[in-house]
Amino acid sequence: MVLYINACVREDSRTDRLAKALLKKLGEDYIELYLPGENLQALSRERLDKRTELINKGDFSEPMFRYARQFAAADKIVIAAPFWDLSFPAILKLYAENIYVTGIVSEYGPDGMPRGLCRAEKLYYVTTAGGPYIADFSYGYWKSLAEQCFGIKTTELIKAEMLDIVGNDPEKIITDAIAAL
Ligand SMILES: Cc1cc2nc3c(=O)[nH]c(=O)nc-3n(C[C@H](O)[C@H](O)[C@H](O)COP(=O)(O)O)c2cc1C
């Protein structure tokens, strides 16, 4: 199963359009998780205490773990997120906080380092940027999470940039990016 994690907030999002073209090219059925439509909760003190208690018991049946279980079980993962404030929309960070559950997506090895438990062979990160795209705090973050913590060995960045620069033709930039998939 391909899991499409859609963090595109704007209507007629160009990032979503690029991601949907990628999904079409992958040619597999996918499940879309539209993050702005989910009621994702930040970890308050109460939620963190409850979560820690459940993790210590090894009880991952609670609904609060459903996103982590879904992420860990996916065969391929496609994340779509526009480039916002040198990073990505906050809803995607909330999602990361919700899925990073020790015992579901990762565990600690004998050396004390995280070891991945996710099934996915590949994670695609799809983004578009108004100006020049800088990967450090967006794709770079997800690449590190995937490879160092989740056990997903391959990641790929799919991007279209300079869309909002005066004089540029955003439609052509997106069409070219789709053609290059
Ligand atoms: C809240 C917000 C923050 C943004 N921050 C940046 C930025 O830091 N750098 C940049 O190049 N473009 C930035 N942009 C422009 C978007 O990256 C660009 O318009 C992108 O294509 C939007 O994707 P979408 O069509 O999928 O919504 C920002 C746009 C918004 C709405």
- Point out the ligand 1 atom lying closest to the alpha carbon of residue 80: 26
The response to whether residue 15 sits with its C-beta less than 6 Å from ligand 1 reads yes
63: how many CB neighbours lie within 10 A of its CB?
Answer: 7
Q: In a mutational test of the pocket of ligand 1, which residue from 134, 139, 161, 164 has the highest number of ligand atoms less than 8 Å from its CB?
A: 164
Q: What are the CA-CA distances from residue 55 to residues 51, 134, 179 (Å)?
A: 6, 35, 45
pLDDT at position 10 is 98
pLDDT at position 22 is 98
pLDDT mean over 126-132: 98
Dihedral sign, Cα of residue 75, residue 144, residue 91, residue 81: negative
Dump pLDDT digits (tens) for 49-77.
Answer: 999 999 999 999 999 999 999 999 999 99
pLDDT at position 120 is 98
pLDDT at position 18 is 98
pLDDT at position 52 is 97
* Lowest mean pLDDT segment, chosen from 108-112, 121-125, 151-155: 108-112
